[in-house]
Amino acid sequence: MIIKEATFISSNTTVAKCPETDLPEYAFIGRSNVGKSSLINMLTSRNKLAKTSSFPGKTQLINHFKINEDWFLVDLPGYGWAKVSKDSRDNWQKMIKAYLQQRKNLACVFLLIDSRHEPQKSDLDFIQVLGTLGVPFVLVFTKTDKQSDYKTQEVVGAFQKKLSETWEELPRIFITSSEEKKGRDEILNFIESVNADLKK
What pLDDT does residue 58 have? 47
Element housing 115 (H / E) = none
Q: What is the pTM of this model?
A: 0.92
DSSP 56: T
Tell me the domains of the chain and their CATH numbers: 6-198 (3.40.50.300)
Measured torsion, CA atoms of residues 156, 24, 66, 11, in degrees rounded to the nearest 10 = -80
Cα angle at 161 between 157 and 164, to 5 degrees?
135
Cα angle at 50 between 109 and 130, to 5 degrees?
15
Q: Which of 16-25, 88-97, 123-132 is predicted least confidently?
A: 88-97
Contacts of 103 (CB under 8 A, 6+ apart): 15, 18, 25, 27
| Tens-digit pLDDT profile for residues 93-133 | 788 899 999 999 999 999 999 999 999 999 999 999 999 99
